[in-house]
Structure 1
Amino acid sequence: MIDRRTFTFGLLALAPLAGCSSTAEVTRAAVSEPSIDGLTRALIALDPSVAPEEAARAARISHEYAADLRVKYQVTDPPLVHNYKVNSGMRPRGICVHWADDIESRLRQERFRTLYIHRAISPPRTSFHISHSAPILSARGQTMFEGIVIDGWREGGNLVWAPVSNDPDYNWRPRAEVLGKIAERRAEQQARLTE
């Protein structure tokens, strides 16, 4: 979450960019075979119990579905500009929670037996940083902190993946933990307003 002043300032700074590519053709993001292979290897390396076939399937689906969502969401801009377009009604979907929901849902359809899908949120670190959502894949029995972030939003359909512990851009936490803290803060603010 981001406060209104910071969001408004950010939008004003990005607004000139929105018009530059608003008529650009939406194309499927490039699917990188080396990235698919790398993610497959990283998933297999999580634990000896991970089935190589499942790892390969999860890696391919994650990359290809993120590329498909780029077209579905009509992404023609950098992520923050696209967020602005979604929040102002110019695009139907495409903020990070949409990417996370849709990729997680697609991966769950596979009913993996050796991989587990977690959901995480990275809370804001500074006033200019917004919270961010993404699914995480781990071996069954592992925590999300041992897994790999699967992020379609960060590069607008070009899948970004990284071990949770080595993701330089985000501080991933369990979704329930972050949402619980947000609910607590809102309750405290509401209590102060009614005093």
Structure 2
Amino acid sequence: MHWQGLSRLYSALLLLALAACSAPVIEQPDGTERLTRAILALDPSVDPGEAARAADLSYAHARHLSIAYEITDPPLVHNTKVNMGLKPRGLCWHWAEDMETRLVAANFRTLDIHRAIANADNPFRIDHSTALISARGQPMNRGIVLDPWRNGGRLFWSTVEDDHRYDWQPQQKVLADKYPLTPITD
């Protein structure tokens, strides 16, 4: 057996071992009312209708993406399946990109949508991406993390300040630090 076949065999065995140790995905009760209140608490300028619509969209789109990405396993197992070509999408940056795109399309007047990355400078942890929501004009660190990847398709949300699992940085800053522009010389 050549290296590529052996590598796939080991990946499949690791995937099966991880799946055997994992809990099944459990549906999350609808938390839109709590998320609506948290979005409203970001700033007095937040429109109550927009807060409710943002919360509804966040939960609904996370559910939609969970079905579209064919989520049946915990995140790291699903990541392995995506990387092996067995599942279409579902890496954290897919969730972040698709959540951001849907929320931006809502054209909120009193809310801003951000992208963030954690662990980019930590060689011992994998980068993690997410979408965030804040009051219009407020920095992302005063917003709310919207992370459906973390719980295998069930929307996790928390204020950035209270999310002690990750040190979120603005996506643009992380990418600029990681991939600085090199001047072109003749």
Normalising by structure 2, report the TM-score: 0.83
Shift of 1:126: 4.7
Q: Unmatched 5+ residue regions in structure 1?
A: 1-10, 188-195
Q: Distance in 1 between matches of 2:67 and 2:115?
A: 24
Question: In the alignment, which of 26, 30, 40 is matched to residue 27 of structure 2?
Answer: 30
Opposite residue 58 of structure 1, the aligned amino acid is: A
Q: Please name the residue that 2:17 is paired with.
A: 17
Q: Does 1:121 align with 2:117?
A: yes
Q: Distance in 2 between matches of 1:14 and 1:63?
A: 31
Q: Please name the residue that 1:193 is paired with.
A: none
Normalising by structure 1, report the TM-score: 0.79
Q: Write 1 or 2 for the structure with the bigger share of helix.
A: 1
Opposite residue 17 of structure 2, the aligned amino acid is: L
Opposite residue 114 of structure 1, the aligned amino acid is: T
Shift of 1:93: 0.4
Aligned residue pair count: 170
Q: Distance in 1 between matches of 2:175 and 2:77?
A: 25
Asked which structure has the greater RCO (Cα within 8 Å, sep 6+), the reply is 1
Contact in 2 for aligned 1:49/1:114 (Cα 8 Å): yes
Opposite residue 27 of structure 2, the aligned amino acid is: A
Q: Distance in 1 between matches of 2:104 and 2:20?
A: 37
Q: Distance in 2 between matches of 1:103 and 1:168?
A: 22
Q: Does 1:144 align with 2:140?
A: yes
Distance 1:31 1:64, change over 3 A: farther
Shift of 1:75: 0.9
Shift of 1:17: 3.4
SS at match of 1:64: helix
1:32-111 equivalences in 2 (<5 Å): 32-33=29-30, 35-111=31-107
Distance 1:19 1:107, change over 3 A: same
**What's the CA shift string for 1:81-136, capped at 9, x where partnerless?**
11111111111100000001111111111100001101111124654421111111
Opposite residue 41 of structure 2, the aligned amino acid is: A
Q: Distance in 1 between matches of 2:120 and 2:73?
A: 22
Opposite residue 164 of structure 1, the aligned amino acid is: V
Percent identity between matched residues is 48
Q: Unmatched 5+ residue regions in structure 2?
A: 1-10
**What's the CA shift string for 1:22-42, capped at 9, x where partnerless?**
xx9xx8x73523x21111001
Contact in 1 for aligned 2:120/2:174 (Cα 8 Å): no
- Please provide the CA RMSD for this pair: 2.4
Contact in 1 for aligned 2:111/2:136 (Cα 8 Å): yes
